[in-house]
Structure 1
């Protein structure tokens, strides 16, 4: 095993990368297991179910699974309807990538529609089914935009894509922010928004907030974008 791993790492570090600009969000079969990569200019969205540890520790497994499924299904449907590509599920959260025109706007609208689904669909349905239960489903969405370097990692039969770049890392960290606000975006995303997503009837949609995990100021909001 030591020899096999040593040879792999040495070969990896000695090989040149083959890269190409992507026109679509890649899947595993689009990229080889060698030093092959696709470069994208993308917005990344992470939607995270807040306090899932409290949920699984304090409620029965079937109830926790209902909450997971209701949230992740709703988020995934909204993401896809907004032109995003779902790239991973990681326990209680989903990752999505948006590319092309108005990618930041489409990602933010998706995030705000997820907030609407949680507040206006999932929570009321849960209360109607279990009126005496005190669990309240909460969530956070984090969004950033940057170039991404997409490679394939793992071994044959068990591999996945890795999304290397600021947007993937920072969006994931924002999704772990306090759930008293539901949507967190970086300046790179905020600066691409139109007036319909920054100001409504003279009221500011976003509040600046310093993220300790990122060590810079981002924008956060409690607003939602309703379905039409």
Structure 2
């Protein structure tokens, strides 16, 4: 069979095949979803943690230094996600995607983002400055968070496949992570409304989150924070 014939067969098969779906209570992995039209539905909160200005980093600094920034940021973010009960579902260059489930998933994700902000400024930047006193690089990052139902399916070919996370939360969280890095944490109103007070009100008694209008997304109401949560 030629490549063209093979692709035609598979595309027709995907469009014609009936879907089998089931509700999930745990984060799916590539062993729990089939390559056929099989999917798991979950109610989840998605966090994207993304290095900002990574093009400047790779263009203006040595490759080994850029790799050290990538490694330290992704390592800290992943460990913090795990400590908050989240699951890393993807590493994508200079960012990670994490999924949170359960009754406190929004609070856990928001607290996770605030801890990532602390680690970026008080840990990675601090030790970078100590190690490379003459290096002026400043680390900026953004975390984006949204919550919705997700439709999780497997895509790719046998031996080279991954899960695709279809739903608002995955899409919006990624877009939020591309917003202004001077406000390192961005969340949707749906996430904000579900936060426990300890993730909403800071130690100074003020709301840690400032309301903004997301003009690019039909003037959607979103919230940003510059606060951090010390480890």
Contact 1:140 1:176 in 2 (8 A): yes
Give the C-alpha shift of residue 68 in structure 1: 0.2
Paired position in structure 1 for 2:221: 217
Structure 1 unmatched ranges of 5 or more: none
Match of 1:94, SS? strand
Counterparts of 1:35 and 1:225, CA distance in 2? 42
Paired position in structure 1 for 2:30: 28
Q: TM-score w.r.t. structure 1 length?
A: 0.97
Paired position in structure 2 for 1:79: 81
| CA deviations over 1:164-188 (Å, ceiling 9, x no partner) | 0000000000000010100000011
Contact 1:47 1:93 in 2 (8 A): yes
Counterparts of 1:23 and 1:208, CA distance in 2? 32
The range that moved more, 191-200 or 146-155, is: 191-200
Runs of 4+ in 1 over 4 A off after TM superposition: none
Paired position in structure 2 for 1:181: 183
Give the C-alpha shift of residue 213 in structure 1: 3.5
Paired position in structure 2 for 1:121: 123
Paired position in structure 2 for 1:46: 48
Match of 1:147, SS? strand
Paired position in structure 1 for 2:206: 203
Match of 2:217, SS? coil
Paired position in structure 2 for 1:170: 172
Give the C-alpha shift of residue 217 in structure 1: 2.1
Give the C-alpha shift of residue 214 in structure 1: 2.6
Counterparts of 1:191 and 1:170, CA distance in 2? 16
| CA deviations over 1:89-147 (Å, ceiling 9, x no partner) | 00000000001120000000100000010111001101101111110011000000000
Counterparts of 1:54 and 1:210, CA distance in 2? 28
Give the C-alpha shift of residue 211 in structure 1: 2.1
Structure 2 unmatched ranges of 5 or more: none
Contact 1:170 1:214 in 2 (8 A): no
Q: CA RMSD in A?
A: 0.9
Counterparts of 2:163 and 2:24, CA distance in 1? 14
Paired position in structure 1 for 2:90: 88
Contact 1:173 1:213 in 2 (8 A): no
Counterparts of 2:64 and 2:181, CA distance in 1? 24
Q: TM-score w.r.t. structure 2 length?
A: 0.96
Counterparts of 2:16 and 2:72, CA distance in 1? 46
